[in-house]
Amino acid sequence: MSYARKWLAAAGLITVLGLSGCQDLSDDLSPDGGDQRPEVAAGSAGSQVSQLAPLFTAVDSLGVTHTLAGELATVDGVVLYFTMWCPTCDSHMSHIRSSLMVNFPNVTFLIVDYVTGSMAVSRAAQLANGYAGFTVLVDTALSLHKDFDGGMGVTVVIDSSGIVQFNEDYKDGVKVRATLEALP
């Protein structure tokens, strides 16, 4: 019994030390729902909402070069979706295809592959996952990932004047759709 008490005390101590030593834990144990988005100057350069998006140049999985300026010249907006070919990404991309692409024909949808590292592997993943019809930008140098603070499921909407209108996780797509409907 004395052994048991010692083990229990040790487990409790480890728990307390572990919790108190990790600041990040409090984010989940007691979530803060306050709006902590940093204030940014509208029209300044950056990837946050209201900022002027970085004018990127990227190559897709077929070797075709795309520029943001070139894309925006002919459409109402550009959507970037960051994928790592995972189940969540697949679910989002499937939703983009069925719910957004058909309803917003004057918007360009670009998938950003930031994990495969080569055109050949990216193209193979694109085909294997059933997205042959998508344009997949191969972010070999992670430049798009850095410029737009990208990550799995991150979706960026840029309007025709180059202003970022949305930069968050895709989630259920409702806010992305609302953003596209409100494009100038």
Binding residues for other proteins, rule: CB under 8 A, are 1, 3-4, 7-8, 11, 14-15, 18-19, 22, 24-25, 27-29, 31-38, 84-88, 90-92, 94-95, 114-118, 121-122, 124-125, 128-130, 139-140, 142, 149, 151-154, 167-174
**Residue (69 or 132) nearer to other proteins, CB:** 132
Pick the closer one to other proteins by CB: 35 or 105. 35
Distance in Å, CB of 16 to other proteins, minimum: 11
Residue 96 contacts residue 175 (beta carbons within 8 Å): no
Measure the CA–CA gap between 74 and 67, rounded to whole angstroms: 12
In the chain, count of helices (H) and strands (E)?
Answer: 7, 7
Hey, which residues does 3 pair with through a beta bridge? none
Q: Which is nearer to other proteins, 72 or 165 (CB)?
A: 165
If the CB atoms of residues 19 and 69 are measured against other proteins, the closer one turns out to be 19
β-pairing, 107-113 vs 57-59, is unpaired
For residue 44, the minimal CB distance to other proteins (Å) is: 17
Residue 99: CB partners within 8 Å, gap ≥ 6? 173, 177
In the bound complex, what is the minimum distance in angstroms from residue 75's beta carbon to other proteins?
A: 25
Alpha carbons 171 and 134: distance in angstroms, whole number: 20
Of 1 and 73, CB closest to other proteins: 1
- What's the Cα-to-Cα distance from 172 to each of 82, 88, 123, 156, rounded to whole Å? 15, 11, 26, 14
Q: Smallest distance from the beta carbon of 37 to other proteins, in angstroms?
A: 5
Q: Which of 182, 49, 180 is nearest to 106 (CA)?
A: 180
Q: How far is the CB of 183 from other proteins (least distance, A)?
A: 18
CB of 68 to other proteins, least distance (A): 20
C-beta closer to other proteins: residue 18 or 43: 18
**109: its two tokens:** 């949808």
